[in-house]
C-alpha cells in the first residue's frame, strides 16, 4: 500500500471515529420479566408455523439429504484411502 492510500485510510478512520463519538447513545428502557414473556408470546403468535404435513416433509428431506451426503463423503473417503494405500504399496 502506498503512502497516499495509507493517508486516505487514516483520514477515513478518523472521520469514522468522530462520527461514533458524536452520535448520541440511545438508552433502552429495561422491562420486567413478565412483560418480556408477554411480548415474546405476542411475537410468537405472529409467526407462520408450518403444518404437521409440512413439518414431516421438511424433516424427511433433511434426513434424506444428510444421509446421502454422509454416504457420499464416506464413499469418497474410502476410495481415497484405498487409492492412497495402493499407491504406497506400489511405491514401496
Residue pLDDT, tens place only, 10-47: 989 988 888 888 777 777 788 899 999 999 999 999 99
Nearest CA to 35 among 45, 27, 43? 43
Q: Which three cell numbers stand for residue 84?
A: 492412497
Is 90 inside any structural domain? yes
Cell 493517508 found at: 7
| pLDDT for 36 | 94
Structural domain tally of the chain? 1
| pLDDT for 79 | 97
Is 1 inside any structural domain? no
Is 71 inside any structural domain? yes
Residue pLDDT, tens place only, 57-79: 999 999 999 999 999 999 999 99
Is the Cα dihedral 51, 53, 57, 63 positive or negative? positive
| pLDDT for 1 | 62
Amino acid at each position: 500500500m502506498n503512502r497516499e492510500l495509507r493517508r486516505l485510510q487514516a483520514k477515513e478512520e478518523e472521520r469514522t471515529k468522530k462520527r461514533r463519538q458524536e452520535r448520541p447513545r440511545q438508552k433502552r428502557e429495561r422491562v420486567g420479566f413478565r412483560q418480556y414473556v408477554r411480548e415474546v408470546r405476542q411475537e410468537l403468535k405472529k409467526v407462520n408455523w408450518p403444518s404437521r404435513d409440512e413439518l414431516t416433509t421438511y424433516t424427511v428431506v433433511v434426513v434424506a439429504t444428510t444421509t446421502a451426503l454422509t454416504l457420499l463423503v464416506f464413499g469418497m473417503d474410502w476410495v481415497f484411502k484405498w487409492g492412497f494405500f495402493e499407491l504406497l504399496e506400489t511405491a514401496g
